Chains A and B, each alone.
Chain A
């Protein structure tokens, strides 16, 4: 994949997100002109990029979206719920396609037919609503937006001087030279110009110019009264568009400031490079510790003055290494908004699917946390929100009967608490009845009945976190993906966090997730298997042993060995990973791990070292690969695969 495409994938998903945010905002307030303009620009830019890469179906949908938005901007159509629905559906498809390009390198096979359906739906929306007679929302044509952007400095200076500015776009007819027109003469006659720009209407190479055809687009801004400008261009009025530069939306005010600001202070760096830097800093910290040890050891045997200087220098290096560590950690801090902003649409869709009305509020999205935490919160929060919509919020009739407002309310809030973050999902739905939890837990034999009965109401809430509590029977199509609250808890714990549930029947539930702000290092044991290095989280391993080969016994179709009078099954890690198994040495190395069915021995070729790493979840091509927990970057740039033992073990 080339750089340009990579850039498109990054920017494309950002633009999609912008468009989604804007459309959702428009749904709340259809009169929000700034949001409308922003959505239009995002779609317009996306269309341009799609054209660059010959992504025809994508271009087709974006083109239809652009038309629809254009009509809304022109006041010919209102941004009603149905129109927004259609637009959101279309942008969701675009989002999916961009993801598909990222993972599979191209559009999915069904993209053309999907595009045709969306195109038809978008076109149909054009005639959905009767146009309200509203001319007050003056629309800003594209070319003007572009002009305002490129000439921002000149224009804001002129606007600051108190001038009313009028822009005109003059596209002379291609045959105007034959008709005796001289567009330059027209341009000269426009009084008091402030800006003059010229581009070609159709790009033509310098070697293939048709000198007899006019191929120019002339844009001009003047501070003269519009009347005087109209007079100057009256003979070519059919080829000229005139627009007053709106004061309120004056250059720089309402316009895509983000595009202007971007070039300035921020820069985009691949997260992997920052992680690479962090790993280097980790190595530096290790080297620094070794140096401290050496300095200490050398102390008595060398010249005291030299020892003193060495200790000084070592202190300096230590300070620098620590400072570097915290600086790099800081680079990885990103606002939670990165994850949270995806939820409004998902909640909206989920609620619509169930025919419920949900008022969803997010707060605290500006709080920052390490990128791994922010990314890692997505899955558990998504699951919690789906639960809240699916199980928490009752349908309208039940709510009214219970004396609640018809629309349910879900809030997702984040705040800082000490060194960590607290993220809360709160709904005002039905809540959870501890009696039902106890009953379900008994039905599924999650705990002995006696211990379930012994739980007080608060502790009974904990039952939902037990593996096997949520089953297909208890979940709807929406939240039922085979993951239950136990998966939420596991995901949060993997981030070094905790989950707490508080619920009152009839009044709703609150789920509180507390996570650290910084990334947590995972302790790994590295092992050698078939010449390759793999990482295993230390907490999965209870001990490491050397087992003589003659003590390994065949057992049915497998092998076993005896460890302290207990027979444990022995599995060869190389076989489990599909790697060639080298001949067994006289004393083989075995890790004792705990599997759901008891302890097992895992035979490896060699134990390597123990290290603390930042575990990165799998993404890209290997995302979702079974048996792999994630990857870590080693000091020498190699990538270490970290194994997910519970998934690998039978």
Chain B
């Protein structure tokens, strides 16, 4: 279980695989304005990244994964 809804925040934890994309997308669609927390996430599969790129939710906090922190966060934040 690496996609978890915690109040209004969707937490991605550990390695996120291709099958996590659909539940993530469903949770984001469920209620507009939900934020995403990547601080405990490891590698993000391209399918998951795609959901984030398209829906552009607010990304809370930092990311533990160095690649995510250095390359994906700026991309997701700048798109907003």
A→B interface (CB under 8 Å):
172, 176-177, 181-185, 187-188, 193, 196-198, 200, 204, 206-207, 209, 211-212, 214-216
Contact = CB atoms under 8 A, between A and B. Distances in A.
B54 A209 contact: yes
Contacts of B50: 209, 211, 214-216
Contact of A184 (B29, B45, B55, B56): B45
A515 to B, nearest CB: 52
B29 A207 contact: yes
Most A Cβ at <10 Å: residue of B22, B43, B71, B72: B71
Contact of A200 (B22, B53, B71): B53
Interface of B: 18, 21-22, 25, 29, 43-47, 49-51, 53-56, 67, 71-72, 75
Contacts of A196: 71-72, 75
B44 to A, nearest CB: 6
Most B Cβ at <10 Å: residue of A181, A206, A211, A216: A211
B12 to A, nearest CB: 13
Contact of B46 (A184, A193, A207, A209): A184
Given A193-B71, A198-B75, A209 B47 contact: no
B46 A216 contact: yes
A196 B74 CA distance: 10
Contact of B47 (A193, A204, A211): A211
A206 B25 CA distance: 9
A204 B53 CA distance: 11
A216 B53 contact: yes
B71 A211 contact: no
A182 B29 contact: no
A172 B46 contact: yes
Given A188-B43, A196-B75, A198-B75, 6 more contacts: A184-B45, A185-B43, A206-B54, A209-B50, A214-B50, A216-B46
Most A Cβ at <10 Å: residue of B45, B53, B54, B55: B54
Contacts of A204: 54
B78 to A, nearest CB: 10
A211 B29 contact: no
B51 A184 contact: no
Contacts of A172: 46
Given A177-B18, A211-B21, A211-B25, A198 B47 contact: no
A182 B45 contact: yes
A183 B53 CA distance: 14
B53 A211 contact: no
A188 B56 contact: no
Contacts of A182: 18, 45-47
A555 to B, nearest CB: 81
Q: Which 10 A-B pairs have the closest CB atoms?
A: A183-B46, A184-B46, A211-B21, A196-B71, A206-B55, A211-B25, A209-B54, A211-B22, A182-B45, A177-B18
A172 B47 CA distance: 11
A198 B54 contact: no
A206 B75 contact: no
A170 to B, nearest CB: 10
A214 B47 contact: yes
Contacts of B25: 209, 211
A184 B75 contact: no
Contacts of A184: 43-46, 49
Contacts of B53: 198, 200, 216
B46 A200 contact: no
Contacts of A177: 18, 46-47
Nearest to B17: A182
30 contacts: A172-B46, A177-B18, A177-B47, A182-B46, A184-B43, A184-B45, A184-B49, A185-B45, A185-B46, A188-B67, A193-B71, A196-B71, A196-B72, A197-B75, A198-B49, A200-B54, A204-B54, A206-B54, A209-B50, A209-B51, A211-B21, A211-B47, A211-B51, A212-B21, A212-B47, A214-B46, A214-B50, A215-B50, A216-B49, A216-B53
Nearest to B74: A196
Contacts of B44: 184
Contacts of B18: 177, 182
Contacts of B75: 196-198
Contacts of B29: 207
A576 to B, nearest CB: 64
A198 B44 CA distance: 14
Nearest to B49: A184
Contacts of B49: 184, 198, 216
Contacts of A209: 25, 50-51, 54-55
A423 to B, nearest CB: 51
A182 B18 CA distance: 8
Contacts of B45: 182, 184-185
A500 to B, nearest CB: 62
Contacts of A181: 46
Given A184-B45, A211-B21, A206 B71 contact: no
Nearest to A203: B54
Nearest to A195: B71
A204 B51 CA distance: 11
Contacts of B46: 172, 176-177, 181-185, 187, 214, 216
Nearest to A211: B21
Contacts of B71: 193, 196
A170 B54 CA distance: 18
A176 B21 CA distance: 14
Contacts of A187: 46
Contacts of B51: 209, 211
B24 to A, nearest CB: 8
A247 to B, nearest CB: 25
